[in-house]
Amino acid sequence: MPGSATERTVTLPHPALSGADWADAWTATPRRRFDTARQAAEAVHRATPGWVGPLMGLRTLAVAPFGLKSGLSNRGLAPADRIGLFAVRDDSGDRVVVGMDDRHLDFRCVLDLDEADGQQTVTVTTLIRRHNRLGRAYLATILPFHRLILQACLSRL
């Protein structure tokens, strides 16, 4: 049903990030069809609610003393090489992978575009490989926001 997001089970290991030790996935039926996963990923990014911007600004300030990346370093990439702040790692038509690596964790966001019974679905899978206690603490802190943001973006799709 368009407008709602459903959580799915993720099996690890996952080919998009070897060694990932945490993952989640959310699926939605979009209101409009997409020709490629990249188009869907760009639409998900544009569907980010306005309240996320200030939250990300707060996150950037909070992690600065720990020397963690803010994602702003990817702004220098050409638009074809990024979606939002995240570098495109792979783009194969029905799947696009974005992400970044940092000293506390490595992150990948995989968007799969699927077709079944004449209905298109978009699945966003988040994969994390935590490197240390800071990575575990960071993930525990952002997890409630991560879930809210993904559900909101997919519901608006």
Task: Please give the residue range of the domain that contains residue 32.
Answer: 5-156
Q: Give me the chain's average pLDDT, please.
A: 89
Read off the tokens for 102.
């940092």
Residue 125 near residue 23 (C-beta atoms within 8 A) = yes
- What residue has token string 């792979």? 90
Residue 142 CA neighbour count, 13 Å, CB half: 20
How far apart, in whole angstroms, are the C-alpha atoms of residue 41 and residue 80?
13
Taking alpha carbons only, the member of 110, 125, 146, 123 closest to residue 24 is 125
Q: What percent of the chain has pLDDT over 70?
A: 91
Residue 85 maps to which CATH number?
3.30.530
Residue pLDDT, tens place only, 59-114: 888 887 777 776 555 556 666 788 988 899 999 999 999 999 988 999 999 999 99
Is 0.75 topped by the overall pTM?
yes
Domain count across the chain? 1
